[in-house]
Amino acid sequence: MKIKNQLLKTALVACLALPGLVIAAEAKLSDAEVNEINAQFPMPSGKMLGDSCAACHGTLGAEFNEGMPPLAGMDRQHFIDLMKAFRQGDFPTIVMHDVAYVYTDAEIEAMADYFASLPAEQWPAPNITESAFLNPDGTIKQIGGAQ
Amino acid sequence: MTKTNRLSNALAGALSALLISTAGASLAAEPKVEAKAWTHIEWNQALSEMPQGDALRGAQLHRDGLCMTCHGDAGVAPSRNAPSLAGQTKEYTYKTLLDYQSGLRNEGDGKAKLMQAATLPMSNQDMADLAVYYAQQALPIRVTQPQTEPKIDHMIRKGEVNRMIIACASCHGAHGEGNGITPALAGQTSDYFVRTMQAYRDKKRRNDIHEGMAQFAYELTDAEIQALADYYAGLGYQGGAK
Amino acid sequence: MSSSQSMLSRRDLIKRFGAAAVAGTGLFGFSNQAWSSKSAHIVIVGGGIGGAATAKYLRLAHGKVRITLVEPNPEYTFCPGSNEVFNGHETLENLTFNYDTMRQRYGVNVIQDKAVAIDYAKRQLRLGSGENVSYDKLVVSTGPDFIYDAVEGYSAAHAAGDLPHAWKAGAQTAKLKAQLDAMPQGGVFVMSSPDGAYRCPPAPYERVSMIADQLSRTNPTAKLIILDSKNRYTFQEHYEHYWTERYGFGTENEVISWVAEKDGGRAVKLDARNKTLITASGEKIKADVINIIPPHKASKFAIDAGLAQGQRWVDFEAKTFKSLVDPNVYVIGDMVNAPMSKTGMIASNQAKVVVESIVADLEGREPGTPFIANNCVAIISDDYGMTIADTHRFAGDRYLVQQRISEVTDNPYVRHIRADLAKNWQRTFRKEIFH
């Protein structure tokens, strides 16, 4: 670990508090700090980053029936433009301005590639047997794959 | 009250009968009343009572009310999830907002629920302001008349006698510009158009007066709906809904 | 699953599937993905959010591994959303899922039994029935257990009886709801809110808010008291702001009272017979309904199996979520000692990191860099919600947290839409785990 003490001080305010009782109003790593971390470790893949969005946007971003927009099959450039606008904070959002600010350009682009590669179709409910995500026998396809 | 006497206050309060202030009670969630469908007479009455809209206030509410989050800058939808509102007739927008608020429009999905939450705080004046604001926003790019298969083209311009379908254009306009309570369709998000027509067809959307729209949707196939969606999306702005 | 397979007894299944380490082909609807006898066998302990997400995402990533899920209950009830049972805006039925989709769509062998021990050397999991299941990789996601005696006189027996904590949604939730509904007019509800790390940091305050919402209609003279073992809590500004508006918080007539630890709020003793909680400062608070939320620790299974190494929580290797006790065992969810909130979304995203670790091991490569997000929405009422966004960036031997909490607002649109977003999130998240 060669991360500077300075970085640890700023970022670990929340870490060192009781886990689960993180109350820091805002903990933000500077761009330089993020770059320093990213220089030491490979960037998380588009799939790793993108799958962490699933609780809100559905498995593989394929929730089409809710208020939160689907990401599966989204146009790559459109995803990038929107995320950068959210990150910039110049577009009123419900929560995305508080989410997008942590991602680098390269991370946004990796997520954009991942979501653009997925079928723009609703994640199948249990009673659905015909779906881009399913084999003919109703078992799941390995869409999205490993990292 | 200081924090230090919280406990004693909690104990004292526990012994005395307390009433919630009336101001507080108004915040409580009221049980939802079954929304009543419009008659033409009632709608005409409501329309005659529609407040004079203020587009500047509408623009402010578009941003502060988070409408812009889903419906986009100046009402051009930034995702496939929501309809564009730019260039919509003010009567249609006003009625839609009223119907979401009353629960008359409720397709049963998360989007309808979100719209109900979004419209609950609105006054009729707020709705009129938004309606006028959106009506003033132009769809930014017009393209040439899109091509579609002859059967669909015929349905749009001449209707289809066999299935008693009146020409789409006779109500929605030759350029999909809408007319009064009949919405503009030009440039509409294709996904939204498809979802809406399927909802009419499957009786999930029932806020049209006397089934003014639904009666023509019952016999449409998914393929026809998609072709109509593509046609109307092509009539207007290109590149918005993705 | 074909009918002949569904007729197999659990014992037969273990023999054929796990213990004997002889893989069948075409088991559990996976006829198109012929497993060879060399397919790795991944066994998951715990069918909650972390365990179910591991099974699902493992199958999404890998068609051929054999996956077994060991869970004592036939169904799982989500905690997210369960506070809204208290104001009648949610039902437990709506929050409850069985494992049929896990079996049929994801080809998971679900064994309804309790895991009791791990034989690390033999790589076997012992079940309550006495059977041993062999594994190549074991994922333990058995959640938290409770430190009942933090409040002297409180016990697991009380919780299962007339004093439910209802901190695992299900029968206890229903019982607490019934007690609240039967509370006499003008009655008193007392909650003891824990210190330390517990699942869903804002949930005690959300629960009190849902109860207050319900009582405002059915029992408007009732009184709610939170005895807190801490001095600050997540979304405190939001709760106090709204409670002030609606419940006269901070006035003589407040409906909800919050007593911080420094003001004597810590409940230390229960007098169950007299329905009384006694605080650290010796105050006795008699209530009609008592809800003690005990402090948490790692699950009994994790502790008994030695994974906690004598500690309260289970340590793990940051990059892979491998146990420090044995590299073939992975640990996730509310039982781990992570610098992360104990939430369902965290558990589900830790599961994805574990899946990547396992698949990388099977493929003989270095696992990709983890990234864990947590975006939670809590509500105070139908018309007030708020959000928290955490991300956890991997930095070698630790995770670096970035966090933003939504601002307190009087903008009615923002308040309403955030509240709706909570329901939206809950529905989507349930599908993400069990569909």
Tens of pLDDT, residues C96-131 = 999 999 999 999 999 999 999 999 999 999 999 999
What is the 3 state secondary structure string of chain B?
Answer: CCHHHHHHHHHHHHHCCCCCCHHHHCCCCCCCCCCCCCCHHHHHHHHHCCCCCCHHHHHHHHHHCCHHHHHCHHHCCCCCCCCCCCCCCHHHHHHHHHHHHHCCCCCCCHHHHHHHHHHCCCCHHHHHHHHHHHHHCCCCCCCCCCCCCHHHHHHHHCCECCCCECCHHHHHCCCCCCECCECCCCCCCHHHHHHHHHHHHCCCCCCCHHHCCHHHHCCCCHHHHHHHHHHHHHHCCCCCCC
* Residue A29 pLDDT: 75
Is C71 found in the same domain as C95?
yes
Prediction pTM value? 0.89
Is C259 found in the same domain as C136?
no
B66 and A93 within 8 Å at the Cβ level: the answer is yes
Is A1 found in the same domain as A56?
no
Q: Work out the mean pLDDT of chain B and round it to a whole number.
A: 85
Cα C203 off chain centre by = 11
Task: Tell me the pLDDT tens digit for each residue of C229-270.
Answer: 999 999 999 999 999 999 999 999 999 999 999 999 999 999
**Residue C95 included in any domain:** yes
Q: Report how far residue A135's alpha carbon sits from residue A49's, in angstroms, rounded to the nearest whole number.
A: 26
Q: Report how far residue A96's alpha carbon sits from residue C404's, in angstroms, rounded to the nearest whole number.
A: 11
Q: Report how far residue C13's alpha carbon sits from residue C66's, in angstroms, rounded to the nearest whole number.
A: 13
Asked, colleague to colleague, whether B40-136 and B150-235 share their fold, the answer is yes
Q: Report how far residue C175's alpha carbon sits from residue C346's, in angstroms, rounded to the nearest whole number.
A: 28
β-partners of residue C371 are: C393
* Residue C171 pLDDT: 97
Q: Contacts of residue C209 in chain B, CB cutoff 8 Å?
A: none
Could you tell me if B64 lies within 8 Å of chain C, comparing CB atoms?
A: yes
User: How many domains is chain A built from?
Assistant: 2
Residue C375 has pLDDT above 80, yes or no: yes
State the helix-helix crossing angle for B90-102 and B110-119, rounded to 10 degrees. Answer: 100
Residues in chain A with pLDDT values less than 70: 1-28, 145-147
The mean-pLDDT minimum among A34-43, B22-31, C46-55 falls in B22-31
**Residue C419 included in any domain:** no
Q: Is C128 helix (H, G, I), strand (E, B) or coil?
A: coil
Is A124 found in the same domain as A72?
yes
Q: Is B200 left (phi over 0), alpha (psi -120 to 50) or beta?
A: alpha
Residue C70 has phi, psi (to 5 degrees) of: -105, 120
Residue holding tokens 């959000």?
C387
Rg (CA), chain A: 18
What's the whole-number mean pLDDT along residues C316-343?
97
Cα distance from C23 to chain A (closest Cα, Å)? 18
C94: which 2 tokens? 């709506």
Is A14 found in the same domain as A35?
yes
With CA atoms as reference, report the closest residue to C107 among C168, C33, C21.
C33
Q: Contacts of residue B110 in chain C, CB cutoff 8 Å?
A: 423-424, 427-428
The domain boundary residue, chosen from C317, C340, C367: C367
Residue C43 has pLDDT above 60, yes or no: yes
Q: Is C178 helix (H, G, I), strand (E, B) or coil?
A: helix
Range(s) of the domain holding residue A129: 44-147
Nearest to C216 among B9, B11, B20 (CB): B20
Is C181 found in the same domain as C253?
yes
What's the whole-number mean pLDDT along residues C391-396?
92
B127: which 2 tokens? 């709705």
Range(s) of the domain holding residue C178: 148-294
Q: Is C396 left (phi over 0), alpha (psi -120 to 50) or beta?
A: left
With CA atoms as reference, report the closest residue to C321 among C357, C362, C363, C367.
C357
B12: which 2 tokens? 């004292």
Residue B211 has phi, psi (to 5 degrees) of: 55, 40
Is A122 found in the same domain as A60?
yes
Q: Is C173 helix (H, G, I), strand (E, B) or coil?
A: helix
Residue B24 has pLDDT above 80, yes or no: no
**Residue C135 included in any domain:** yes
Is C12 found in the same domain as C56?
yes
User: How many domains is chain C built from?
Assistant: 2
What is residue C263's DSSP assignment?
Answer: G
Q: Contacts of residue C86 in chain B, CB cutoff 8 Å?
A: none
Is A4 found in the same domain as A68?
no
In degrees, rounded to 5, the angle at the alpha carbon of residue B121 between the alpha carbons of residues B116 and B125 is 110
**Residue C415 included in any domain:** no
Cα distance from B223 to chain A (closest Cα, Å)? 16
* Residue B78 pLDDT: 84
With CA atoms as reference, report the closest residue to C393 among A109, A42, A59.
A42
Q: Which sign, positive or negative, has the C-alpha torsion C396, C398, C400, C403?
A: positive
B146: which 2 tokens? 């899109």
Is C357 found in the same domain as C223?
no
Cβ atoms of residues C83 and C206 within 8 Å? yes
Residue B52 has pLDDT above 80, yes or no: yes
**Residue C173 included in any domain:** yes
The number of helices, as runs of H, and strands, as runs of E, in chain A is 7, 1
Is C282 found in the same domain as C317?
no
Residue B99 makes CB contacts below 8 A (sequence gap 6+) with B35, B105, B207
Is A57 found in the same domain as A25?
no
Is A3 found in the same domain as A15?
yes
State the helix-helix crossing angle for C203-218 and C171-181, rounded to 10 degrees. Answer: 40
C19: which 2 tokens? 């213990």
Q: Contacts of residue C225 in chain B, CB cutoff 8 Å?
A: 10, 14
Residue holding tokens 């529609």?
B50
* Partner chains of A (3+ C-beta pairs under 8 Å): B, C
**Residue C384 included in any domain:** no
> How big is chain B, counted in residues?
242
Q: Report how far residue C313's alpha carbon sits from residue A75's, in angstroms, rounded to the nearest whole number.
A: 43
Strands (E), C78-141: 96-98, 108-111, 115-119, 124-127, 132-134, 137-140
* Residue A62 pLDDT: 98
CATH number for the domain including A130? Answer: 1.10.760.10
Cβ atoms of residues B152 and B227 within 8 Å? yes
Largest Cα–Cα distance of chain B, in whole Å?
80
Q: Rounded to the nearest 10 degrees, how much is the dihedral formed by the CA atoms of A126, C334, A114, A147? A: -100
* Residue C397 pLDDT: 87
Cα distance from C171 to chain B (closest Cα, Å)? 26
What's the whole-number mean pLDDT along residues B214-227?
95
**Structure confidence at residue B7 as a pLDDT band (50, 70, 90):** low
Residue C7 has pLDDT above 80, yes or no: no
Residues in chain A whose Cβ is within 8 Å of chain B: 64-70, 74-75, 78, 82, 91-94, 120
Q: Contacts of residue B64 in chain A, CB cutoff 8 Å?
A: 92
In chain C, % of residues over pLDDT 90: 90
Question: According to the CATH classification, is domain B40-136 in 3.40.50.2300?
Answer: no
Residue C34 has pLDDT above 70, yes or no: no
Is A138 found in the same domain as A102?
yes
The domain boundary residue, chosen from C367, C401, C419: C367
CATH number for the domain including C284? Answer: 3.50.50.60
C431: which 2 tokens? 């599908």
Is C317 found in the same domain as C283?
no
Q: Report how far residue C90's alpha carbon sits from residue C296's, in angstroms, rounded to the nearest whole number.
A: 26
**Residue C433 included in any domain:** no
β-partners of residue C404 are: A26, C389
Residue C303 has phi, psi (to 5 degrees) of: -70, -50
Q: Report how far residue A10's alpha carbon sits from residue C400's, in angstroms, rounded to the nearest whole number.
A: 9
Higher pLDDT: C28 or C187? It is C187
Tell me what ipTM this predicted complex has: 0.89
Nearest to A92 among B66, B82, B114 (CB): B66
C30 and A53 within 8 Å at the Cβ level: the answer is no
* Residue B27 pLDDT: 43
Cα distance from B185 to chain C (closest Cα, Å)? 27
* Residue A8 pLDDT: 34
C402: which 2 tokens? 């970035």
Give the helix/strand (H/E) hosting C228. strand C223-228
Task: Tell me the pLDDT tens digit for each residue of C64-98.
Answer: 999 999 999 999 999 999 999 999 999 999 999 99
Task: Tell me the pLDDT tens digit for each residue of B135-162.
Answer: 999 876 656 667 889 999 999 999 999 9
Nearest to B111 among A67, A91, A92 (CB): A67
Q: Is C373 helix (H, G, I), strand (E, B) or coil?
A: strand
B80 and A91 within 8 Å at the Cβ level: the answer is no
Q: Report how far residue C328's alpha carbon sits from residue B58's, in angstroms, rounded to the nearest whole number.
A: 60
- The CATH H-level (homologous superfamily) assignment of domain B150-235 is Cytochrome c-like domain (1.10.760.10)
Q: Report how far residue A46's alpha carbon sits from residue B74's, in angstroms, rounded to the nearest whole number.
A: 31
Cβ atoms of residues C61 and A145 within 8 Å? yes
**Structure confidence at residue B235 as a pLDDT band (50, 70, 90):** confident
Q: Work out the mean pLDDT of chain C and round it to a whole number.
A: 92
Residue B221 makes CB contacts below 8 A (sequence gap 6+) with none
Residue C6 has pLDDT above 70, yes or no: no
Residue B239 has pLDDT above 80, yes or no: no
**Residue C206 included in any domain:** yes
Is C264 found in the same domain as C189?
yes
What's the whole-number mean pLDDT along residues B25-31?
41
A102 and C349 within 8 Å at the Cβ level: the answer is no
C402 and A40 within 8 Å at the Cβ level: the answer is no
Is C141 found in the same domain as C9?
yes
* Residue A145 pLDDT: 67
Domain limits, chain B: 40-136, 150-235
With CA atoms as reference, report the closest residue to C109 among C67, C63, C50.
C67
Is C132 found in the same domain as C30?
yes
Q: What type of residue sits at position B203?
A: K
Is A76 found in the same domain as A10?
no
* Residue A13 pLDDT: 36
Please count the other Cβ atoms lying within 10 Å of the Cβ belonging to residue B200: 24
Higher pLDDT: B36 or B28? It is B36
Q: Report how far residue C102's alpha carbon sits from residue C434's, in angstroms, rounded to the nearest whole number.
A: 7
